[in-house]
Chains A and B, each alone.
Chain A
């Protein structure tokens, strides 16, 4: 892990780098030994490309978070790993539920490098949280049925399922009649 100082240095390097402005890194967080960079949504591809040049060449995970009731609600986390230094850093992006759109990191960029492993994981984030990834080669649901409505991992989604029918509320069941 970059320590707290290392994280600030990394953030400064990124802010100073070509194509990224001082507003590209919104915040840094060093919590329980884990370094996190919060990034402007429109800069996500560039920041990840810069981090790859700095050695973080493996994308271990892409996952979504719902920060309800905080705004912007939805988050996407990219976990990067430097395998030679055994060093991890998390890059997070926040998008609002009104316009949950984000550039996909799956296809190859200008440098000819994409993150192919993000393909299915971005589809899962779309399926569960409804974040649509622009430029993704195959943007559709991956786990739920294709005609399913809603994004079930959002926190305002009803817990749902079928009510459990015990003996005391058996008469409420619409299924079994005996």
Chain B
């Protein structure tokens, strides 16, 4: 069988004439249909008009958007209607897609927590894979296991050291309702710190923890504050900066 070989750039020419990428067409003064880099003033005006319409939100807001605005008026309109809400949502979106969990395991649930970060469940898909070894760098603490009365003050301290905004997941039966270890040695996590999401199970499967984290993500996206300080009567637990 004969193989027909062709040069890769068939039309390549030392002078650049006839090349596919850039076409210079000086015969077209309006620039319509032009692919190249020739700058044309009338084309710019068309683009400017298009972007102005876009800023007014002609497509987003529908026909109710006033079409006759210009200058400061238009700027204020845009500032009020579009930018602020979008910024909040963008921040919430960013936060909710980049939790930095604290690398912190208490008992057998921690095995499932590791597996959640492992290749099968792979929370790196959602951007939560950066387990931090310091509470100063973390914004999510997963209480994976039972909390003893000796460990509780330490966990509370870790939680207080985390920077705002911060969230907490209580994983497994033990640190929600103390499960099978309901005795003198344990304390449920709700007694000493605010919990955003409880994941039941003994221990929960990695899918369960994943479900809990995604619930938390939804919560953060819907309402960045989530009002937990009110729910838990936790006003005054914000970290106070020195000199403030």
Residues of A within 8 A of B (CB): 144-145, 148, 152, 157-162, 164-166, 175-178
Contact = CB atoms under 8 A, between A and B. Distances in A.
A152 B232 CA distance: 31
28 contacts: A144-B149, A144-B185, A145-B149, A152-B184, A158-B184, A159-B183, A159-B184, A160-B184, A161-B182, A161-B183, A161-B184, A161-B185, A161-B186, A162-B178, A162-B182, A162-B186, A162-B188, A164-B178, A166-B177, A175-B188, A175-B190, A175-B191, A176-B190, A176-B231, A176-B232, A177-B231, A177-B232, A177-B233
Contacts of B185: 144, 152, 161
Nearest to B153: A145
Nearest to A163: B182
Interface of B: 149-150, 177-178, 182-188, 190-191, 231-233
B149 A160 contact: no
**Cβ-closest 9 pairs across A and B:** A152-B184, A160-B184, A161-B182, A164-B177, A161-B183, A175-B190, A175-B191, A145-B150, A176-B190
A166 B173 CA distance: 12
Contacts of B184: 152, 157-161
* Best-buried of A144, A165, A176 by chain B (most CB within 10 Å): A176
Query: From DSSP, what is the main secondary structure of chain A's interface residues?
Result: loop
Nearest to B150: A145
A63 to B, nearest CB: 17
Nearest to A166: B177
Determine which residue in A161, A165, A178 has the highest number of CB atoms from chain B within 10 A of its CB, and name it. Answer: A161
Given A145-B150, A159-B183, A178 B178 contact: no
A32 B26 CA distance: 107
B182 A144 contact: no
B233 A162 contact: no
B192 to A, nearest CB: 9
B182 A164 contact: yes
Given A162-B187, A164-B177, A178-B231, 20 more contacts: A144-B149, A144-B150, A144-B185, A148-B149, A152-B183, A158-B184, A159-B183, A162-B178, A162-B191, A164-B178, A164-B182, A165-B177, A166-B177, A175-B188, A175-B191, A176-B190, A176-B232, A177-B231, A177-B232, A177-B233
B98 to A, nearest CB: 29
Contacts of B191: 162, 175
A175 B186 CA distance: 15
Contacts of B182: 159, 161-162, 164
Contacts of A176: 190, 231-232
Q: Which of A152, A160, A162 has the most CB of B within 10 A?
A: A162
A161 B233 contact: no
Most buried by A among B149, B183, B184: B184
